[in-house]
Amino acid sequence: MKIIKRTGWFAGVILVIAGLLCAPSAWAAENGKLRLGIVTFLSGPASGPFGVPAENAAKLTIAALNAGKMPAPYAMKGINGVEIETVVVDEAGGATKQVEEFRNLVERQKVDAVIGYISSGDCLAVAPVAEELKALTVFFDCGTPRIFEDASYKYVFRTGPIATTDNIGAARYILDTSPNTKSFAGINQNYAWGQDSWNDFKAAMQVLLPQAQVKTEQFPKLGAGQYGAELSAILVENPDIVHSSFWGGDMEALVLQGAARGLFDKRSVVLTCGETGMFRLAEQMPEGAIIGGRGPYGVFAPDNPLNAWFRKEYQAAYNTPPTYPSYKIVQAILGLKNAAEKAGSAPGKLPDTDAIIAKFRDRASRHRADWWRWASARPIRRCRASPMAPSIARARTRHRRSSTSGVIRRNA
């Protein structure tokens, strides 16, 4: 008897587990809402500067959309009149983990679309899976050009510019503002982002300013925090320009340590991701530093009603002005909304994925004169050494005091 009881107990446990496994798919039953997966860093070093500001902006935007309170032309409720519900997932844990969770989002949670991914490695790994699952996926931040350069995808979009444009833009800015540059150096984190950024910048400089020499290239490891040795190496070489794609805490540490060592005194320092730290480091950010915002975001965004609305709401909700990750995720959401609403379904009904995709591509190729020029995905070719349009450079980097001092003072 005991044996039977035991086996029965065991079978019961297995049944309960099986039930648990099947349950979530039932929850994703049709409730008439659009289910949107949002994937961004909620933990780890990238959560502070990128993940959480992006998530906050997404929450704020989706709430406003569901309430129909966005300024025109985005005033229609939700997306095409359909309310949006979100499933938020942490991007931490590496590419393998993200592939697993992406599948769970699409197949278990049955989301209609996914917006997310800051890490380039995650984007690279997720893209083919999205294609296999035929899941509409919008990357909002990752910067590697390898996604659309190495393969072509139907279901995958990116609404932000690639890192290559940042760095070529930075080089062009230097050509415009200091054409007599004789030498330059780089300090970048020793991982894909840092290596790619430096290579793009170096290649662009060699074409645009062939007389400028590379003095030294420093690659401290990601999250090192102490840059004394690297700073010494750079200061000894005394270059005219220092390039860095540092982000988050590393970037802030570099600014503080560099300022103390006189890194910013006689030369221009280009911080291609400097924008996320400009409010936090308002007091420490040195005069004349060249700051990038990974596109026309944050303080570089054009002055129009939508931007004014967004800045005001974000400041009110989170007590700090929005930085570029916040802008970029809003851009992805609005890009998706725009494409879906143009796909020709009656309001209150969702168009099918293929129709959205067709319009998304259309939006991308026609460059609609929206106030955010980049509000659509475009497969950007890697253009290491070819000169970019001057408008990109202007959008990318700017002397801080000339355009942003007002903003900084508000916070400080």
Partner 1 sequence: MGRDLTLLGLTLALVLLLAGAVIFPHWLTFLVMMSLARGLVVLGIVLQMRAGLVSFGQGLYYCIGGYTAAMLGSLYGVREVAVLIAAAILVSAAVAFVLGTLLSRYRDIFFAMLSMAFSMILYGLLVKSPALGSTDGFNVPAMTFFGWKPAVQSTGVYVITCFLAYMIALAYHYYQKSPAGYLAGAIRENEIRVEYLGSSAQWLLHAKYVMASVISAVGGLLAALATGHVDPEMAYWTTSGEFVFIAILGGTGHVAAPFLGSTLFSLVRTYAYQFFPYTWQMILGLVLLLIIVFLPRGLWSLIQRLYSEKPRAADR
Binding residues for partner 1 (CB under 8 A): 2-3, 6, 10, 20-22, 24-25, 42-43, 87-90, 94-97, 99-101, 103-104, 106-109, 120-121, 124-125, 128-129, 132-133, 144, 146, 150-151, 190-193, 195-196, 199, 222
Q: Which is nearer to partner 1, 154 or 401 (CB)?
A: 154
Nearer to partner 1, 10 or 344 (CB): 10
Nearer to partner 1, 197 or 307 (CB): 197
Residue 120 beta carbon to partner 1: minimum distance, rounded to whole angstroms: 5
Distance CA 78, CA 250 (A): 38
The distance in angstroms from the start CA to the end CA of the chain is: 76
94 or 344, CB closer to partner 1? Answer: 94
Q: How far is the CB of 198 from partner 1 (least distance, A)?
A: 10
Q: Which residue's CB is nearer to partner 1, number 143 or number 274?
A: 143
- 209 is written with which tokens? 């300013």
- CB 24 to partner 1: min, Å: 7
- Whichever of 42 and 259 has its CB closer to partner 1, that residue is 42
Which residue, 100 or 265, has its beta carbon nearer to partner 1?
Answer: 100
Smaller CB separation from partner 1, 135 or 393: 135
CB of 347 to partner 1, least distance (A): 31
Give strand pairing partners of 90: 40
CB of 403 to partner 1, least distance (A): 33
Output 146 or 261, the one with its CB closest to partner 1: 146
| Smallest gap from residue 343 Cβ to partner 1 (A) | 27
d(C-alpha 142, C-alpha 164), whole Å: 12
Secondary structure tally for the chain: helices H, strands E: 14, 11
| CB proximity list for 136: less than 8 A, separation 6 or greater | 112, 113, 114, 130, 155, 157, 336, 353, 356, 357
Characterize the bridge pairing of strands 34-40 and 113-116. parallel
Nearest approach, Cβ of residue 193 and partner 1 (Å): 8
CB of 1 to partner 1, least distance (A): 9
> Strand 290-292 vs strand 136-139: parallel, antiparallel, or unpaired?
unpaired
In the complex, least distance from residue 310 CB atom to partner 1, rounded to whole angstroms: 24
Residues in the chain: 412
Least CB distance to partner 1 at residue 203 (A): 13
The C-alpha atoms of residue 135 and residue 113 are separated, in whole angstroms, by 6
Dihedral angle over CA of 393, 397, 401, 402, nearest 10: 20
Residue 95: count of CB within 10 angstroms of its CB: 15
To which H or E segment does residue 186 belong?
Answer: strand 183-187
CA distance linking residue 412 with residue 338, whole number of Å: 36
- Which of 261, 273, 263, 269 shows the shortest CA–CA distance to 288? 269
What DSSP letter does each residue of 365-380 carry, written as one string? HHT---SSTT-S---P
Minimum distance of partner 1 from residue 199's CB (angstroms): 7
User: Rounded to 5 degrees, what angle do the CA atoms 271, 272, 273 make?
Assistant: 90
Q: How far, in Å, CA of 141 to CA of 157, rounded?
A: 11
Is beta strand 268-271 parallel, antiparallel or unpaired with respect to 241-244?
parallel
What CA–CA distance (Å, rounded) separates 233 from 215? Answer: 10
106 vs 290, beta carbon nearer partner 1: 106
- Which one, 81 or 93, has the nearer CB to partner 1? 93
- Decide if 61 contacts 333 (C-beta within 8 A): yes
